Structure 1
């Protein structure tokens, strides 16, 4: 039965989400008017704000009419995972806007950057409100390994965005690194979806031993990628043109190298937690 719950819109969380809709709409509208249609970073910007707007709007509608209670998955896990992901996406977008476009001294870029940071603050507040409100957040999102899985998937998505300006098509070693990023991202998303949909009892893939094996493989793969990417990524790459353009291949290689190191550290931390849980949890 559909019931109208107006408290969804008047609560602190509801007002926060309404402000998120307004801020994301402003960012999307202003940036779309710039018209950098063939720019992959520009596409990422529009995707971030449009995806955040549509998902937040959908969450508001479902909760307003009480339809979220009829969905066959954990609504609290879903909203918690989404708010964390949206916070990371909007924050990365804000930082890229600041670093890449502020030098152009263009009023639209300044306005978009301001509202993007405003959206980041709103989503950060949403994360805090959801974790205080919910009593059904699963162990996955309440532990450091689960939280790091979300961050790892997000970092991999940043790498994918930067690949269009990188030299990876010219070196098989870099293509191998891309396969590491892709496979890791797929497994991270798989684990997140399994947890949100509460399929742990149906799928034995989340047993401690299986997770340990995946963490070992991920750590070793990223350790190799940390070595290969900078060695071959900076090969024949110069800083020419970087002073003129907001982004250039040299900057993209730096970003990808940095993000590879971040995910390598995340895999190490997850591996440490898996080893402790598997071998020392009962001691």
Structure 2
């Protein structure tokens, strides 16, 4: 009788904790849905967005809204068992990436468009959209902190050093794609197309490595997973070095058809142009390429120490 009573109490306590966690999760999920929905709705209905870089912010808000909505439906219907990965791992990793993505959308949209939109209803809507995007970042970050405090064992790859580096690599690559969404930057030159291919290959391989880890297939590769990541970092460094050299040559060297001076770009002299003109986009891509190259070098050093020093 005592054992049965104790079992009932433990079950009730466990259910109570689960209910509390579920309520908190629903609350955060609703805030995320509301903030991302209002962000892209305000921008879309007033037309305070344009092609190229503006597509990045709209894409991020729509993507986060759709994925969060699907997550909410899955949790509401109790369909987590259909997910091939660990559901808790997926949630905390998704929330980590969403935090960075919504934050980048907030920064890019505000610095690119708010200063070019005339004061009035459109300007107010742009300010409100930026505020809701920042709110989305805060709610996703709150979810990360809340889930990280759980006593359960969550394999948060993003919050560990190798996962943090991999997450930063993928994040910077996504921002690079936001600035090269204007295809006129590279389609005229095969060498620049190779740069875009290098960014794509590294992003694809990095995302694949993350999925292998989350799916539990990291120990099923023909080689040790740290060695695989070591070679992956080495390959990515080679690709990014080639991309950095070619991008600098063909975008800023006159001998290769580049424009070394910002004043030589007509789009930067137009008084109604975006804050980030075409030449600025080229420069930002070059800087982000160098930054990501340094992150890949740190990734290589980490796994080299793991493989050759730790063992």
Q: How does the TM-score come out when normalised to structure 1? A: 0.89
- Determine the structure 1 residue equivalent to 2:108: 96
Partner SS state of residue 267, structure 2: coil
**Which of 69, 77, 87 lines up with 1:65 in the alignment?**
77
**Which of 101, 123, 128 lines up with 2:140 in the alignment?**
123
Greater shift after overlay, 101-110 or 22-31?
Answer: 101-110
Q: How does the TM-score come out when normalised to structure 2? A: 0.81
- Determine the structure 2 residue equivalent to 1:233: 251
Shift of 1:171: 2.4
Task: Kindly report which structure 2 residues correspond to 1:97-176, keeping only aligned pairs within 5 A, or say none.
Answer: 97-103=109-115, 104=117, 105=119, 106-133=123-150, 135-138=152-155, 140-165=157-182, 167-176=185-194
Partner SS state of residue 204, structure 1: coil
Query: How many Å separate the matches in 2 of 1:109 and 1:119?
Result: 15
Alignment CA distance shift 1:15-1:224 (3 Å): same
Shift of 1:250: 0.9
Aligned residues: 278
Instruction: Show structure 1 runs of 5+ residues with no match.
Output: none
- Determine the structure 2 residue equivalent to 1:245: 273
Shift of 1:114: 1.2
Q: Is the 8 A contact 2:43 2:49 kept in 1?
A: no
Greater shift after overlay, 13-22 or 205-214?
Answer: 205-214
Query: How many Å separate the matches in 1 of 2:224 and 2:51?
Result: 39
Query: How many Å separate the matches in 1 of 2:233 and 2:111?
Result: 33
- Determine the structure 2 residue equivalent to 1:10: 23
Query: How many Å separate the matches in 2 of 1:28 and 1:97?
Result: 11
Query: How many Å separate the matches in 2 of 1:142 and 1:154?
Result: 14
Greater shift after overlay, 250-259 or 168-177?
Answer: 168-177
- Determine the structure 1 residue equivalent to 2:219: 201
Query: How large is the Cα RMSD of the aligned pairs?
Result: 2.3
**Following TM superposition, where does structure 1 have runs of at least 4 consecutive aligned residues deviating by more than 4 angstroms?**
5-9
1:213 aligns with 2:226: no
Task: Kindly report which structure 2 residues correspond to 1:32-43, keeping only aligned pairs within 5 A, or say none.
Answer: 32-35=44-47, 39-43=51-55
Alignment CA distance shift 1:62-1:164 (3 Å): closer
Partner SS state of residue 245, structure 1: coil
Alignment CA distance shift 1:37-1:92 (3 Å): closer
Partner SS state of residue 310, structure 2: coil
Instruction: Show structure 2 runs of 5+ residues with no match.
Output: 1-14, 253-257
